[in-house]
Amino acid sequence: MIDPTRADRAAGAVVGSAVGDALGAPFEFGPAGAFGTRFPAPGAGGEMCGGGGWDPGEATDDTQMAVHLGESLLERGGLDLPDVFDRFRRWACDQPKDIGLQTEAVLTADLPWDLAAAIHFQTNLRAAGNGSLMRAATAAVRFAPAGRDATMDAARRIAALTHGDRAAWEGTAIQHELVRVALAGRDPIAALPATLDAVHPDHRERYATVLAPDWHPELATEFNGAVWPCLGSAVWALRTTGGFEDALRAAVDLGGDTDTVAAVTGALAGAVYGLGAVPERWTAPLHVPLPGGGGRTLHLADLVGLAERLAAG
């Protein structure tokens, strides 16, 4: 395989995540193995099938939030947290087809950007969903040139807009760092020990467990809508396969929160293998209706352009 360029990897991360989201959406909350039963032969086609209220190739909230985040980073020339929160809020109030429970509670609470998630966490005590992990691709591309610490710090701050639980911040920070490593042409799996060293000590052990070479999604102690098994499953899918398509098939076939597990997997696998490895029959029907975005629907060229501008800084 030709070594992808950095631009191809950046586009791969953003488009790969969107493709995973759209591929997994019709199988959300379904059982493990449903995808492989329906599409037993890799490469046979028809996998971008739609269903469950989703058109074939239609991306969900995971990608919609990643696009709003990426557009804020571009238009504000960097991380403007109140602006990101405003865009998320406009999106949440524009009737997205799907929205995470916790994200919805925080964004519709009519509280200031820097208090909404923390207050929600204080009252509910459970805020370690995968909702900040799922939207990481665009910011990961944007902050990668700034290095590990700046990347992980930005990831934590963006995660904290909707998730008050530090567990979600740390998982999102790990995902950003693994994408950063991959964009540089290095192996994110080999970078796991060093990445874990940079995780907050209170959360290191739990991530070390789900990111260990012998961990398997069946060992998860929570539903994969939680941040730990979601990230662990994505890394497992990358580790145990040899290409973009197989990694995504493995992710969707885990069942459960399939769109998000596959979106997280797609960001990683896309950064590793590049846009050139994402099947054209998956990118052709891909589209991202964008609530809160003035009635726009993004297609492949729009996502590639977004990734290119984010990679350029």
Q: How far is it, in rounded angstroms, from Cα 222 to Cα 73?
A: 33
Q: How far is the CB of 193 from Mg ion (least distance, A)?
A: 31
Which one of 47, 58, 62, 71 is in contact with Mg ion (CB under 5 A)? 62
Binding mask 17-56 for Mg ion (x = CB under 5 A): ----------------------------------------
In the complex, minimum distance from the CB of residue 288 to Mg ion, in angstroms, rounded to a whole number: 12
Q: Cite the beta strand spans of the chain per DSSP E.
A: 288-289, 297-298
> Is residue 61 within the footprint of Mg ion (CB under 5 A)?
yes
Query: Which residue is nearest to Mg ion, using beta carbons?
Result: 60
- Establish if 259 lies at the interface with Mg ion (CB under 5 A): yes
Radius of gyration of the chain (CA): 17
Tokens of 235: 């890394």
Told to check if 224 binds Mg ion by CB under 5 A, we report no
CA–CA separation, 165 vs 67, rounded Å? 23
- Is residue 71 at the binding interface for Mg ion, with CB under 5 A as the rule? no
Shorter beta-carbon distance to Mg ion: residue 130 or 283? 130
- 290 CA to centre of own chain: 16
8 belongs to the binding site for Mg ion (CB under 5 A): no
Cβ 289 vs Cβ 50: under 8 Å? no
Min dist CB 257 to Mg ion, Å, is: 8
> Residue 58 or 61: which CB sits closer to Mg ion?
61
Q: Is 83 exposed, middle or buried (0-12, 13-18, 19+ CB in 10 A)?
A: middle
CB 186 within 8 A of CB 202: no
Q: In terms of CB distance, is 62 or 71 closer to Mg ion?
A: 62
Using CB under 5 A, list all residues that contact Mg ion.
60-62, 259
